[in-house]
Structure 1
Amino acid sequence: MAIINAMSENTTTLTTLSKAEVAAFDSIYHQYHHAVFKNICKLVTQHEVAEDILQEVFLALWNNRHKLDLENGAGGWLFVVSYNKSMQYLKTSAREKLVLVTHPQLPLSTAEEEPNTLKDLQLHLINDAIEKLSPKKKMIFRLCRLEGKSLQEAAAILGISPHTAKEYLKASSTFIKNHIATKQATIPAAGLLLLTAYFQY
């Protein structure tokens, strides 16, 4: 697996890594990678680039595994980080195109990542909004948006019709978008409102 290989290059060799940590990481990857990739593709249409960003997201998870509080699962953190890395790519790409047109002789520099304070704010707002949803809407959102389940799969898990599941997802996505937009008015933060692009149903 490319991500495991990248992990070994950025830490020590795999023979010295904790088997429990690798097993836990592997479990999270298999649970969430489909959902994360789908979210990345909402912003980044190039398949190969989206795959590279997916790897960066899970490499960041591995590198930060000892600092993260994943009591509520890894979905929210992966959701936020995949958004930020997608936006980082889009900003860098746009900047590079502008530089190439206006100053083709200048070297290109990569964009800095969003500061941790913004990531924390984004994650807090998402978790806060999710907690305000009704139990079934909360579960539908987590299953479909954070775990990559289809509406049919989520409906079967909750014992409701796919149509009802779709309506719940639509309502929960709209609520969370509005929640973030409202907070944007009182807590201005660059890139915060664009996060709502990830809540299209």
Structure 2
Amino acid sequence: MIVNDDYELLEDLREGSAEAFLEIYQLHHQRLFSFANKYLQDEDLAEDAVHDTFLKLWEIRSRVNPMLPIINYLYRIVRNFALKALKKKQEQQWIKKSLSEDVPTQCCVHTTYLEKENRSLFNQAVNMLSSQRQRVFRLCRQEGLTYQEAATQLKISPYTIKEHMSLAMRFVQTYIKQNS
């Protein structure tokens, strides 16, 4: 018994139909955008999450079960991308905050000097990381790759990337606090 109204559309998608993909995109884009925007409170990030969701759908199209509503897959995927974006945003805010802590803003020249000093401390800390951890840190933080993209590029597990990033972030923060 077929319980999904989009059965034929999903069958076409599984076979690689760009028209079916476009129709699914048009049917669900706005709802997914609204959903992602509720999480992220940022329209640009929400739009990125939705686009990543549809890219992921295209990549996994052969595994989509046409008997089930596609919207369930899409909500789960967009939620995961939104949560990743939130985590990345929080990590970036944390880095900015740790670099700017205890910097007096009374004098522009003095502030500029301290900003350069903090940037220098940050670079020193990154340079003290092991070569693999440095590569991971630079790919994820400075080039903006996701953990999955960095893992693919370095041919290691995303979990290894996550561990390297966690240890690198902790080391950089500790180094800056101890040396500033």
TM-score scaled by structure 2?
A: 0.47
In terms of fraction of residues, the more helix-rich structure is 2
Q: Which has the higher contact order (CA 8 A, sep 6+)?
A: 1
| CA radius of gyration, larger in | 2
